[in-house]
Amino acid sequence: MNTAQQTARVGLFFLLGLALTWVTWETLSDGKLFKQTGYSLVAGFDNLKELKQGDEVRMAGVKIGSVERTRLAGRRAEAVLRIDPGVKIASDATATIVMAGLIGTNYIGLDLGTPGAPVLTDGAELRTKITPDINAIMTELGNLGQKLEGALGSITTTVNGDGKNPGLFQKLDRLVTDNSTKIDTTMTNLASATEKINKGEGTLGKLLNDSKLHDELVATVSEIKGAATDAKSFVADAQTLVNQVKSGKGTLGALIFDETAGNDLKVVTRNLRDISDKIAKGEGTLGKLLTDDSLYLSAQSTLKKADSAIDSLGDSGPITAVGAAAKVLF
Amino acid sequence: MKQFTHFLEGFGSAVQLLFQSARFVGTLPRQRARFIDQCYLIGYTTLPIVAILCFFMGSVLALQSGYSMENFGAKQFIGSLVGLSFARELGPVIVAILVAGRVGSAITAELASMKVYQEVDALVTMNIPPARILVLPRLAAVLVMMPVLAIIGNLIGWFGGAVVCKYVESIAIEPEAYFSALRRYMKFKDVGTGLMKAEIFGFVVVLICCSIGLNTRGGPREIGASVTKAVVVSLISILVLDYFVTKALM
Amino acid sequence: MNPPIHRNPITAVESPAVGVTIDGLTKNFGTFQALKNVSFTVEPGEIFVLMGPSGSGKSVLLKHIVGLEAATAGRVLINGQDATAEHTLERIRIALVFQAGALFNSLSVYDNLALYPREHRFGDEATIRDKVMRALQILSLENSAQKFPSELSGGMRKRVAIARALVMEPQLMLYDEPTSELDPVMSATISEIIATLKDEYHVTTIVVSHDRELALGIADRVGILMGGELVFLGPPASLRQPADPRIADFFHPRIDLKNPRFKTLET
């Protein structure tokens, strides 16, 4: 081989090296080496969380593009998405940031939208929905636990008393006990009077034998009876409520003992155990639980969020979201 | 103790040789033909073996990481693992080891035989310093060729990993996902670090091999001994240097 | 006295020939004394033949002259300059014809010769080509220019080595065993070449050899080294009937078959 040939080969070889280095550099630096295809959409969020440039955009789980870049725009964070050409996105498709794994890989998930809706064009803005991430869910669950604790404490105090002041049961009990003789006497008297009256004995009897008066009297007695029954059933209700909470039925019980939450909501359970303890000690007023419907509402909204968070974790890897929660927690 | 003295002597003569060669950098343009010749030997002819080894190294790396990462469901990160470890570590080291084995040994053999058959002495009496025409073109050539070999080795290694990921059933990751994972956690700095490492290793290997070759004494039997010594010292130097260079470049 | 004029064999440019002074030269390799306080002077333009049996230190002495070895004691002066000093080789062109030729095996004969003028920028490629071809002609090697050293016979290699030395336009020529391994005809040719170079161009020449014919034929003066010591220094004529028994033994070795050394041969 002659020298010129050798020189040419070395030169080409060196150029090849330069070219490959340049290609690698371009590819790893900004990915702008290859001409951009497709069109771009903007998705605004309050918080992009772990989303990075180069993350995938999937519609119904199918990759249709990637995050071209992320930027701050005023009071929100924007992700500019590069969508593959030929993919049509309905204008009412909603974008969410989805966790694909637990070690920081996210992607943007789009739902299909409704058929027949107009198609988004280059530069258009996507509708977005905030999905709480696992941290937010945990914080909310913690807050809920504290609220429950306070409210249930109040119930207990009202029902059982707090040691100094007698509670509802004690008061009723004492009322009945203290006056039992009087009530007995009254009842006996009433019975004999009634008997006499029925027989039509004495002036009073006659006077009272007037059916109208009799009717009124009967009504009064039944009202007294009704009041007593009401008091009883209220006490029973309160007890049932406490029992239900303990045994895991009803809305609150369901929240706490929901099987989908399983062991991973142990913290909440523990909180509730604390709550029971505190219920035993007794604090607060009954009225709080009964009038404070914000508690119920916030419980409900938390559950909704938890639901949707768990939905959005549907695509996660082998480690389940619950497992993740457990890892975050313990 | 004696070993240590030998080590110091060897180290000293290599450094001395480096400075002697550096003095003649100005003569490089005149030595263009020799430089091209060495580029051809060091770069071009080493490419096939670099390509083959890097391909299989990338493949086996992907295979092994696929096997072990499956246990905790991180298979989608094989691309990142293969990419990073190849660019930062394996690529430069493999290329340097190949250069030591293929080019370094040849350099030592050639210079040692020139020394043993008095060609080096002849050069000295002709007032042509061996550092100028024997060492300098080789050092310059390895500086130019090493990054080229390393980047090609890198890309071929990555490609080898991709092939395994696609065609091995237990892994079954599409090249697109593999390269997307590879790109996700890699910056050009990682590749650049690797190229710089390759550059340093290659330079040191050629310097060591030249120095040991030129310091050969005795008869033809010593040529073989020198070659063995050069390769061993080169390999040790690569791996020891690797630690320190990696630490310095981090 | 003015030194004889040295005329370059290739370019015929004239310059003063150089003289060599060996002054108390001693060289130890570990405990082995290769040279023991050797002193002599080679005059400009003369042919000095250094003789001695194998291992007597002749080649080591040559290496001192070109600065390949550093003396343990004493010094070598070339035109008054220390041979080991780096700049000596830059100022004075010394050509050493190695015993084995020391040709560059990776270069063709032509490139072997052209290396020195190219590296020292004697001129453009055409000038260099002229010089190289003339040197090849002097040694009758024109037809071997494109051959590689491995394709040459021993005698041709030696001639190439001499040609390579000539191209250097040397002021001092050193030959290490120029006629060893050569047939008598080629030996005579080499002797002739050495004498011609000296006669026509006044190149100071030092020849290391144990070839008695060569020494007696071309030498202006002869030195004999034995065991690292200079045992004789004088004109070749006085070697015809050497007084020193050691020298006589060297020139006319008698093989005594009764000598215990040959016992093994008999049995």
For the stretch C192-240, pLDDT in tens is: 888 888 887 788 899 998 788 787 888 889 998 888 888 888 888 877 7
| Best mutation target, C91, C116, C174, to test chain B (most B CBs within 10 A) | C116
Lowest mean pLDDT among A61-65, A255-259, B48-52, C61-65: A255-259
Query: Which residues in chain C are contacts of B127 at CB distance < 8 A?
Result: 89-90, 93, 120
Note whether A6 contacts B36, CB cutoff 8 Å.
yes
Give the model's pLDDT for residue A290. 44
Average pLDDT of chain C?
Answer: 83
- Those residues with Cβ within 8 angstroms of residue A321's Cβ, 6 or more apart along the chain or in another chain: A99, A134, A309, A310, A313
CB contact residues (below 8 A), chain B span 73-112, against chain C = 110
Whether residue A316 lies inside any domain: the answer is: yes
Residue of chain A nearest B83, judged by CA positions: A28
Q: How many C-beta atoms lie closer than 10 Å to residue B25's C-beta?
A: 12
- Residue B68 and residue B187: Cα distance in Å, rounded? 25
Note whether B191 contacts A6, CB cutoff 8 Å.
no
- Those residues with Cβ within 8 angstroms of residue B172's Cβ, 6 or more apart along the chain or in another chain: B165, B166
- What the block records as the tokens of C50 is 């250094």
> Is B40 near chain C, with CB under 8 Å?
no
Instruction: Identify which of A16, A54, A101 has the shortest CB distance to residue B183.
Output: A54
| Best mutation target, A28, A62, A103, to test chain B (most B CBs within 10 A) | A28
**What pLDDT digit, counting tens, does each position of C135-187 carry?**
898 888 889 899 999 999 888 888 899 899 988 888 888 999 888 777 788 78
Average pLDDT of chain B?
Answer: 91
Note whether C90 contacts B127, CB cutoff 8 Å.
yes
Give the model's pLDDT for residue C257. 64
Q: Are residues A270 and A323 in the same domain?
A: no
Residue B154, helix vs strand vs coil: helix
Whether residue A159 lies inside any domain: the answer is: no
Give the model's pLDDT for residue A206. 57
- Residue A282 and residue A278: Cα distance in Å, rounded? 6
Residue with tokens 């310097």: B207
Residue of chain B nearest A10, judged by CA positions: B40
> What is the pLDDT confidence band of residue B61, given thresholds at 50, 70 and 90?
very high
Residue of chain B nearest C119, judged by CA positions: B128
- What the block records as the tokens of B22 is 């550096």
Cα Rg for chain C, rounded, in angstroms?
Answer: 19
Whether residue A283 lies inside any domain: the answer is: yes
Give the model's pLDDT for residue A235. 72
| Residue C247 C-alpha, separation from nearest chain B C-alpha, in angstroms | 31
Nearest to A83 by CA among A51, A32, A123, A130: A123
- Those residues with Cβ within 8 angstroms of residue C197's Cβ, 6 or more apart along the chain or in another chain: C9, C166, C173, C203, C205
In sequence order, what E strands does C211-265 have? Answer: 221-226, 229-234
> Is B119 near chain C, with CB under 8 Å?
yes
Note whether B39 contacts A25, CB cutoff 8 Å.
no
CB A101 within 8 A of CB A56: no
Lowest mean pLDDT among A129-138, A195-204, A316-325, B194-203: A316-325
- What the block records as the tokens of A321 is 């979201």
> Which pairs with CB-CB distance under 8 Å and at least 24 residues apart come from B101-106?
B101/B231, B102/B46, B102/B49, B103/B41, B103/B42, B103/B46, B103/B142, B103/B205, B103/B206, B103/B209, B104/B205, B104/B206, B104/B208, B104/B209, B104/B230, B104/B231, B104/B234, B105/B209, B105/B227, B105/B230, B105/B231, B106/B41
pLDDT above 50 for A317 = no
Q: Do chains C and A touch (3 or more CB pairs under 8 A)?
A: no
Residue C259, helix vs strand vs coil: coil
Nearest to A33 by CA among B146, B54, B179: B179
- Those residues with Cβ within 8 angstroms of residue A268's Cβ, 6 or more apart along the chain or in another chain: A141, A144, A145, A255, A256, A261
- Those residues with Cβ within 8 angstroms of residue A213's Cβ, 6 or more apart along the chain or in another chain: A207
pLDDT above 80 for C19 = yes
**Overall number of domains in chain A:** 3
- Residue A111 and residue A92: Cα distance in Å, rounded? 9
Whether residue A24 lies inside any domain: the answer is: no
Query: Which residues in chain B are contacts of C119 at CB distance < 8 A?
Result: 126, 128, 133
Note whether B184 contacts A3, CB cutoff 8 Å.
no
Chains that touch C (3 or more CB pairs under 8 A): B
Amino acid at C226: M
pLDDT above 50 for A287 = no
> What is the pLDDT confidence band of residue B226, given thresholds at 50, 70 and 90?
very high
Residue of chain C nearest B129, judged by CA positions: C119
- Residue B15 and residue B21: Cα distance in Å, rounded? 10
Whether residue A306 lies inside any domain: the answer is: yes
| Best mutation target, B44, B54, B142, to test chain A (most A CBs within 10 A) | B44
Sign of the Cα torsion B186, B188, B193, B194 reads positive
Residue of chain A nearest B185, judged by CA positions: A28
Q: How many C-beta atoms lie closer than 10 Å to residue C151's C-beta?
A: 12
Q: What is the mean pLDDT of residues B71-99?
A: 88
Query: Which residues in chain B are contacts of A5 at CB distance < 8 A?
Result: none
Residue with tokens 């020189």: A7
- What the block records as the tokens of C175 is 């030959």
pLDDT above 70 for A101 = no
Q: Are residues A320 and A286 in the same domain?
A: no
pLDDT above 70 for A133 = no
Range of the domain at A301: 293-329
| Residue B218 C-alpha, separation from nearest chain A C-alpha, in angstroms | 35
Query: Which residues in chain B are contacts of C93 at CB distance < 8 A?
Result: 127
- Those residues with Cβ within 8 angstroms of residue A189's Cβ, 6 or more apart along the chain or in another chain: none
Note whether B128 contacts C116, CB cutoff 8 Å.
yes
> Is A318 near chain B, with CB under 8 Å?
yes
Q: How many residues does chain B have?
A: 250
Note whether A28 contacts B187, CB cutoff 8 Å.
yes
CB B190 within 8 A of CB B84: yes
CB C167 within 8 A of CB C113: yes
Q: Are residues A281 and A321 in the same domain?
A: no
> What is the pLDDT confidence band of residue A109, given thresholds at 50, 70 and 90?
confident
Whether residue A140 lies inside any domain: the answer is: no
Give the model's pLDDT for residue C254. 65
DSSP conformation letters of A205-271: HHHHHSHHHHHHHHHHHHHHHHHHHHHHHHHHHHHHHHHHHHHT-HHHHHHHH-TTTGGGGHHHHHH
Q: Are residues A40 and A99 in the same domain?
A: yes
**What pLDDT digit, counting tens, does each position of B138-174 carry?**
999 999 999 999 999 999 999 999 999 989 888 888 8
State the DSSP code for C142.
G
pLDDT above 90 for B58 = yes
Whether residue A218 lies inside any domain: the answer is: no
> What is the pLDDT confidence band of residue A75, given thresholds at 50, 70 and 90?
confident
Note whether B124 contacts C100, CB cutoff 8 Å.
no
Q: Are residues A64 and A87 in the same domain?
A: yes
| Best mutation target, B34, B126, B132, to test chain C (most C CBs within 10 A) | B126
Lowest mean pLDDT among A183-197, B176-190, C91-105: A183-197
> Is A15 near chain B, with CB under 8 Å?
no
Between these two residues, B160 and A47, which has the higher pLDDT value?
Answer: B160
CB A143 within 8 A of CB A153: no
CA C102 to chain centre: 13
Whether residue A214 lies inside any domain: the answer is: no
- What the block records as the tokens of A107 is 């992607």
> Is C66 near chain B, with CB under 8 Å?
yes
Q: Are residues A93 and A124 in the same domain?
A: yes
> What is the pLDDT confidence band of residue B244, given thresholds at 50, 70 and 90?
very high
> What is the pLDDT confidence band of residue A72, given thresholds at 50, 70 and 90?
confident
| Residue B96 C-alpha, separation from nearest chain A C-alpha, in angstroms | 16
- Those residues with Cβ within 8 angstroms of residue C84's Cβ, 6 or more apart along the chain or in another chain: C64, C67, C70, C71, C75, C76
Give the model's pLDDT for residue A115. 81
At what angle are helices B175-184 and B78-85 packed, to 10 degrees?
Answer: 60
Helix (H) or strand (E) holding A28: helix A3-29
Chains that touch A (3 or more CB pairs under 8 A): B
Q: What is the mean pLDDT of residues C89-118?
A: 88
Q: What is the mean pLDDT of residues C6-16?
A: 68
